[in-house]
Amino acid sequence: MQSIERAAAILRMLAGGTGRLGLGEIAASLDLAKGTTHGILRTLRHVGFVEQDRVSGRYQLGAAVLHLGDSHLDVNELRSRSINWADPLAARSGEAVRIGTVRQGRALVVHHVFRPDDTFQTLDTGTLLPLHATALGKVLLAYRAAEPPAELEAFTRRTVVSRRELATALDRVRTAGWGTEIEELTLGEAAIAAPIRGYGGLVVGAIGISGPVERLCDTRYRPHPRLVGHVRDAARAVSADLGAARH
């Protein structure tokens, strides 16, 4: 906890000061050991809250602090960082893979891998999906990456349209660590998704597979545990790549 207080003090100093500050000045002003100060600065740099000038080695506030309210991970970067893990998920599950993040109150498809059966399919990267009616969206909602929409539109008979029911569904996602969608957006279609975490464990996206209900679920509409396992493994691999595990 002490280190959080110290980090806050450093940020205040950098925000209040004029121009860049050197390690020595920061440590001296806060009456901290240089080693301790350096450790905190390194972590703050890692999360983008502090930047270090390449030439002088002095520190200043990072762009990430100024954009704290915005989505903090560039969508194209999310795609680049997850591409190596999305491919094996498609191969192992035999289904199409999508990665989503929140944009304009909906789930933006950031990355799409075709179902690996070499049939004709069209890339739908850039498409916006309803949050409450998709596995990707429900995972994003469950971990507070977004607020539920004001109006819960019905797409099929199975779409969750009551706020109470949605809250229960999101509770279930949090308990299980993954979410589903069973004919809630399109008849005959199901999906399974799990959260992608970035620095500090913050959920920055969701990865999932989708396909016909009869392939993804058993006769009682329960997703096959094997497929759930593949989705969660992929989500963990991307998260580890994004640095989630390090914190």
Partner 1 sequence: MTERFVVAIDQGTTSTRCIVFDRHGQLVSLAQQEHKQHFPRPGWVEHDAGEIWRNVERLAPLALQRAGITTGQVSAVGIANQRETTVLWDRRTGVPVGRAVVWQDTRTDGLVNTLAHAPGAAEVQERSGLPLATYFSGPRLNWILDHTPGLRDRAERGEVLFGTMETWLIWNLTGGLHVTDVTNASRTMLLDVRTLRWSPQACEFFGVPMAMLPEVRPSVAVFGRARSAFPGVRIGAALGDQQAALFGQTCFTPGEAKCTYGTGSFLLLHTGPELIRSTHGLLTTVAYQLAGEPAQYALEGSIAITGSLVQWFRDQLELISSAPEIETLARTVADNGGCYIVPAFSGLYAPHWRSEARGVIVGLTSYITKGHLARAVLEATAWQTREVVDAMNANSGLTLTTLKVDGGMTADNLLMQSVADVLDVPVVRPLASETVSLGAAYAAGLAVGYWSDLEDLRRNWHRAAQWMPAMEPAVRDREYGNWRRAVERTFDWITPA
Report what 33 binds from ligand ATP, partner 1, none; CB cut-off 5-8 Å by kind.
none
Smallest separation (angstroms) from partner 1 to the CB of 113: 5
One of 80, 84, 121, 127 touching ligand ATP (CB under 6 A): 80
Report what 108 binds from ligand ATP, partner 1, none; CB cut-off 5-8 Å by kind.
none
Smallest separation (angstroms) from partner 1 to the CB of 99: 11
Q: Is 118 in the site for partner 1 (CB under 8 A)?
A: yes
CB closer to partner 1, 197 vs 230: 230
The DSSP string of 110-133 is EEEE--TT-------TT-EE-STT
Q: Is 147 in the site for partner 1 (CB under 8 A)?
A: no
Give the helix ranges, DSSP H, for 177-245. Answer: 213-216, 225-242
Whose CB is nearest to ligand ATP?
80
CB closer to ligand ATP, 77 vs 165: 77
Question: Scanning residues 205 to 234, which ones bind ligand ATP (CB under 6 A)?
Answer: none
Smallest separation (angstroms) from partner 1 to the CB of 79: 5
CB closer to ligand ATP, 126 vs 201: 126
Q: Is 76 in the site for ligand ATP (CB under 6 A)?
A: yes
Q: Is 123 in the site for partner 1 (CB under 8 A)?
A: yes
Site string for partner 1, 79-98 (x = CB under 8 A): xx--xxx-xx-xxx------
Q: What is the CA radius of gyration of the chain?
A: 21
Question: Scanning residues 63 to 82, which ones bind partner 1 (CB under 8 A)?
Answer: 63, 74-77, 79-80
Q: Which of 168, 163, 162, 170 is nearest to 134 (CA)?
A: 170
Q: Encode burial over 65-82: b for 16+ CB neighbours within 10 A, e otherwise.
A: beeeeebebebeebbebb
Q: Is 127 in the site for partner 1 (CB under 8 A)?
A: no
Tell me which H or E stretch contains 59: strand 59-61
| Most distant pair of Cα atoms in the chain: their distance | 67
CB count within 10 Å of CB 161 equals 15
Q: Is 201 in contact with 187 (CB distance < 8 Å)?
A: no
Residue 110 exposed, middle or buried by CB count within 10 Å (0-12, 13-18, 19+): buried
CB closer to ligand ATP, 76 vs 121: 76
At CB < 8 A and 24+ separation, what contacts does 117-126 make?
121/96, 124/98, 125/79
